[in-house]
């Protein structure tokens, strides 16, 4: 082989090695199936791949990498690079962001929920809290206020919740306890069987989850305006993996977050909510609407005590609890 040909072969080999070195694949741990709740992650993967000409790919797995309650643990050990989880699944592991799950915060839109979450995620104490798990908060999964789908006799007032077994996590569980219900925490994928078998009589979900996890197939009634709160479910990345990205790949990822969230909210406010009302009609699910007086009683009995308890517990953990509560309130009144 002459010298010029040898150089061409070596050059081609070097290009191949360089191209291989530039390629980045991240594994992403979600659960359930693709739905409104995961559309921002799907959009993020699409944008990142497009911006890097396929050199940076997000391989999304729905339950194949980890159980949803173990996603934060998986992130901490680098079992995968990105994951979604809900704060209420393990409140002791991420106490700072549970401030976003306090009942009756007064959030009324997905846009508000997005802005509020991002503000809290940027707080140094919150970032330090998640850093214990080698996790960097990437983006929220904004969800509307939860309401209940249930079986059996529909509640006519708040006193009818006494003894009702309800799948409810986080602050929503606290709210249900305040009116005498019995909250039970379980993963979303366990809910349908629990409702069918009578383990629980009602389930607190956002509309997309009631559709995705089949409660509307069994449910007989739906509370239209209980609105006790919502859950906060961030998407996080392994901090070491984020630090190991090239500048171009990091910019492709971080620069795509706003567009991914815009897509998520447009899809939820559009396709998801457009389908929800007709589905309730189709399934002949009774709509239960509480009076303003009943709702005021509910808020008064729940909101203040829940905030006081949260502050006391999290001050004891060394968090600036009052400061985080004030941040939430100030953000919502801007």
> Which position has the token pair 């004891």?
316
Cα 233 off chain centre by:
2
pLDDT of residue 288: 95
Beta strand segments in 98-205, E: 135-139, 147-150, 165-167, 182-184, 202-205
- CA–CA gap between residue 193 and residue 199 (Å, rounded): 8
Q: Which residues, including other chains, have CB under 8 Å from residue 274's CB and lie 6 or more apart?
A: none
Query: What's domain 24-142+231-272's architecture?
Result: 3-Layer(aba) Sandwich (3.40)
Which of helix, strand or coil describes residue 297? helix
pLDDT of residue 154: 93
pLDDT of residue 14: 40
Long-range contacts of 323-328 (CB under 8 A, 24+ apart): 323/123, 323/125, 324/96, 324/99, 324/120, 324/123, 324/125, 324/126, 325/99, 325/102, 327/119, 327/120, 327/123, 328/99, 328/100, 328/102, 328/105, 328/116, 328/120
Q: Do domains 24-142+231-272 and 147-230+279-333 have the same CATH topology?
A: yes
Average pLDDT per block of 10 residues along the chain, 334 residues long: 42 42 90 96 98 98 96 98 94 96 92 98 98 98 95 91 92 88 90 95 94 94 93 97 98 98 97 94 96 90 92 97 97 90
- What does the block give as tokens for 126? 């919150």
- CA–CA gap between residue 53 and residue 25 (Å, rounded): 13
- What does the block give as tokens for 275? 């389908």
Q: What is the DSSP string of 252-266?
A: HHHTTHHHHHHHHHH
Q: Which residues, including other chains, have CB under 8 Å from residue 301's CB and lie 6 or more apart?
A: 178, 179
Contact 189, 252 (CB under 8 A): no
- CA–CA gap between residue 90 and residue 92 (Å, rounded): 6
Contact 140, 41 (CB under 8 A): no
- Residue ranges per domain, the chain? 24-142+231-272, 147-230+279-333
Half-sphere exposure of 24 (CA within 13 A, CB side): 25
Q: What is the CATH number of domain 147-230+279-333?
A: 3.40.190.170
Q: What is the DSSP string of 48-72?
A: HHHHTTTSEEEEEEESSS--GGGHH
Contact 88, 231 (CB under 8 A): yes
Q: Which residues, including other chains, have CB under 8 Å from residue 218's CB and lie 6 or more apart?
A: 151, 192, 195, 196
> Which position has the token pair 């050059």?
11
Cα 240 off chain centre by:
22
Among candidate residues 172, 190, 174, 285, the one with its CA nearest the CA of residue 226: 172
């Amino acid at each position: 082989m002459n010298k010029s040909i040898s150089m061409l072969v070596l050059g081609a080999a070097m290009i191949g090695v360089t191209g291989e070195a530039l390629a980045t694949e991240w594994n992403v741990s979600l659960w359930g199936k693709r739905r409104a709740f995961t559309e921002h992650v799907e959009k993020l993967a699409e944008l990142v791949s497009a911006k890097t000409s396929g050199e940076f790919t997000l391989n999304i797995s729905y339950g194949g990498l980890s159980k949803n309650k173990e996603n934060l643990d998986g992130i901490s050990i680098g079992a995968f690079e990105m994951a979604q989880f809900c704060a209420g699944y393990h409140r002791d592991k991420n106490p700072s962001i549970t401030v976003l799950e306090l009942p009756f915060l007064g959030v009324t839109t997905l846009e508000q929920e997005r802005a509020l979450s991002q503000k809290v995620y940027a707080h140094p104490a919150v970032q330090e809290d998640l850093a214990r798990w080698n996790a960097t908060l990437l983006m929220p999964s904004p969800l509307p206020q939860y309401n209940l789908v249930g079986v059996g006799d529909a509640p006519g007032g708040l006193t009818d919740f006494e003894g009702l077994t309800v799948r409810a996590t986080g602050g929503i569980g606290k709210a249900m306890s305040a009116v005498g219900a019995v909250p039970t925490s379980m993963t979303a994928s366990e809910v349908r069987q629990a409702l069918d078998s009578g383990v629980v009589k009602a389930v607190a979900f956002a509309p997309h989850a009631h559709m995705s996890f089949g409660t509307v197939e069994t449910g007989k009634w739906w509370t239209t305006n209980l609105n006790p709160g919502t859950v906060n479910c961030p998407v996080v990345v392994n901090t070491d993996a984020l630090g190991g990205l090239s500048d171009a790949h990091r910019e492709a990822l971080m620069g795509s977050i706003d567009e991914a969230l815009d897509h998520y909210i447009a899809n939820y406010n559009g396709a998801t909510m457009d389908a929800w009302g007709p589905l309730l009609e189709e399934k002949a699910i009774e709509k239960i609407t509480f009076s303003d007086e009943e709702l005021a009683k509910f808020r008064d009995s729940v909101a203040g005590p829940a905030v006081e308890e949260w502050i006391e517990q999290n001050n004891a953990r060394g968090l600036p609890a009052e400061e985080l509560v004030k941040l939430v309130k100030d953000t919502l009144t801007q």
